[in-house]
């Protein structure tokens, strides 16, 4: 039986990196004998242009009937100020799929410490797993729009905190056993609940995990001064959005960072953490590594094929270490040229 994959190329540079990832996914499928059935649907700004809605009904139904969803990126200046925004489609999709845990691994690939804005000795070997809560907090609270007054309400329940904390504790078991939970407990009630609930869960079920708590402002600083201090970083939706962009550039470029969004069961949503990169869209310049590594995460988490996931990750390591890559990481490959090279490495491997 073949795995049903829904492809959402999206907007701007999204379709370029999605095509690159799809080529690698197909090459990997051929190599490891994995039957894939991939179908593309309009989403984001492309969804608005095609149907008026960023998450068209047909797209939503296909995602809900799939084994995994792959997204390039959404958004762009074309839809700024419009009645409905492409980003609303992404938030709705995350909620519909129930993918409350967003895994954003941040690794400095071999050789990439040279591209880091941090000193090489600080950047070398960094390996942090950011786990961002994805379907709660200020992104999904009551909103009041207005020219005189506006508000965005931030709410979390104990259950929402516990389920994502559990993902972090389970992940830490297979890594360094340390979780740093990031909040703003000196100001926010949701953060004080977050701290209480994560501590209680660790005490009750994960005594082997070393859990500490830090405030978002100080942790944003520590991510730059001593990123090596972190193993798993657990945080709420908005803080995770910001910290993951910050952390991604330690590795040389936001274009390198992948993500997997998971809920109950094995279906997941896979996307690079970057946006539609309007400034470089349509020029074959976008770095496809984050998208390609997201496809690897799809193979691991939704298709249950660790072997194939590793083959892609090894090919990326090898290519980048040999100096191949797009301009943002100092190489001179085009997006598709780099992806073709990864396809060759996977096929040979
Ligand atoms: P962005 O991530 O698109 O771009 C920020 C900077 O990083 C730009 O200079 C861009 O050129 C660079 N960059 C991004 N991806 C790159 C890649 N693969 N290779 C090389 N360089 C890359 O963020 P932005 O400009 O703030 O947002 C643009 C649009 O994307 C907005 O509409 C925003 O809402 C949307 N967005 C979407 C997603 C998503 O779909 N998951 C994520 C973030 C932002
Ligand atoms: C991301 C993006 C999205 C977010 C936007 C586009 C809604 O920045 O995936 O990181 O804020 O979650
Ligand atoms: Mn973001």
pLDDT surpassing 90 at residue 1: no
> pLDDT digits over 199-214, tens only?
999 999 999 999 999 9
Q: What is the pLDDT of residue 195?
A: 98
Give the pairing type, strands 178-183 and 232-235: parallel
pLDDT of residue 318: 98
β-pairing, 260-262 with 268-270? antiparallel
Contacts of 147 (CB under 8 A, 6+ apart): none
Tell me what pLDDT residue 24 has: 98
C-alpha 87 – ligand 2 centre gap (Å): 7
Q: How confident is the model at residue 282, as a pLDDT?
A: 97
Q: Ligand 1: distance of its center to the CA of 10 in Å?
A: 12
**Confidence at residue 310, expressed as pLDDT on a 0 to 100 scale:** 98
How far from each other are the two terminal CA atoms of the chain, in whole angstroms?
Answer: 25
Closest CA to 7 of 88, 68, 56, 74: 68
> Tell me, what's the pLDDT at 211?
98
Q: CA-CA distance, 269 to 259, in Å (whole number)?
A: 8
Indicate whether 179 pLDDT > 90.
yes
The confidence score (pLDDT) of residue 8 equals: 98
Mean pLDDT of the 211-233 span: 98
What would the mean pLDDT of 82-106 be, rounded to a whole number? 97
pLDDT in tens, 273-324: 999 999 999 999 999 999 999 999 999 999 999 999 999 999 999 999 999 9
* Rounded Cα gap, residues 329 and 348, in angstroms: 25
41 CA to centre of own chain: 20
Ligand 3 center to 238 CA (angstroms): 9
What's the pLDDT at 82?
A: 87
**Per 3-state DSSP, what percentage of the chain is helix, strand, and coil (rounded to 5)?**
50, 15, 35
Distance CA 219, CA 271 (A): 25
pLDDT of residue 312: 98
Q: Is 293 helix (H, G, I), strand (E, B) or coil?
A: helix
| Ligand 3 (single-atom ion) residues, CB below 5 Å | 241
Q: Is the CB of 277 under 6 A from ligand 1?
A: yes
- Residue 251, sorted as left (phi over 0), alpha (psi -120 to 50) or beta, turns out to be alpha
In this model, does residue 81 exceed pLDDT 90? no
Q: What is the mean pLDDT of residues 169-182?
A: 98
d(CA 213, CA 275): 29
pLDDT value of residue 133: 99
pTM of the model: 0.98
Q: Per-residue pLDDT averaged across 134-146, rounded?
A: 97
Helix (H, G, I), strand (E, B) or coil at 288: coil
Taking the CA of residue 90 as reference, the ligand 2 atom at the shortest distance is: 7
Is the CB of 241 inside a 6 Å radius of any atom of ligand 2? yes
pLDDT at 64: 98
């Amino acid at each position: 039986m073949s795995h049903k994959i829904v492809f959402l190329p999206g907007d701007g540079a999204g379709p370029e990196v999605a095509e690159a990832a799809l080529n690698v996914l197909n090459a990997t499928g051929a190599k490891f004998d994995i039957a894939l059935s991939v179908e593309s649907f309009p989403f984001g700004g492309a969804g608005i242009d095609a149907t008026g809605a960023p998450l068209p009904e047909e797209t939503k139904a296909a995602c809900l009937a799939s084994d995994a969803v792959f997204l390039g990126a959404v958004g762009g200046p074309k839809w700024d100020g419009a009645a409905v925004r492409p980003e609303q489609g992404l938030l709705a999709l995350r909620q519909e799929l129930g993918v409350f845990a967003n895994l954003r691994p941040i690794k400095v690939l071999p050789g990439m410490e040279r591209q880091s804005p941090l000193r090489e000795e600080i950047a070398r070997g960094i390996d942090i797993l950011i786990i961002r809560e994805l379907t709660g907090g200020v992104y999904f609270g009551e909103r009041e729009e207005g020219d005189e007054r506006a508000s965005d309400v931030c709410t979390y329940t104990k259950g929402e905190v516990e389920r994502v904390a559990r993902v972090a504790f389970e992940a830490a078991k297979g890594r360094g056993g340390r979780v740093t939970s990031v909040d703003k407990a000196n100001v926010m009630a949701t953060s004080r609940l977050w701290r209480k609930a994560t501590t209680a869960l660790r005490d009750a079920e994960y005594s082997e995990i070393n859990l500490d708590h830090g405030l978002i402002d100080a942790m944003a600083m520590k991510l730059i001064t001593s990123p090596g201090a972190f193993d798993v970083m657990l945080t709420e939706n908005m803080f995770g959005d910001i910290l993951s962009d910050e952390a991604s550039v330690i590795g040389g470029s936001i274009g390198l960072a992948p993500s997997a969004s998971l809920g109950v069961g094995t279906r997941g949503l896979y996307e690079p953490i970057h946006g539609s990169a309007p400034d470089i869209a349509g020029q074959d310049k976008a770095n496809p590594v984050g998208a390609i590594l997201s496809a690897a995460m799809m193979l691991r988490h939704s298709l249950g094929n660790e072997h194939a996931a590793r083959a892609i990750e090894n090919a990326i390591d090898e290519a980048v270490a040999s100096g191949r890559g797009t301009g943002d990481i100092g190489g001179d490959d085009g997006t598709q040229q780099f992806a073709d090279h990864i396809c060759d490495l996977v096929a040979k491997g």
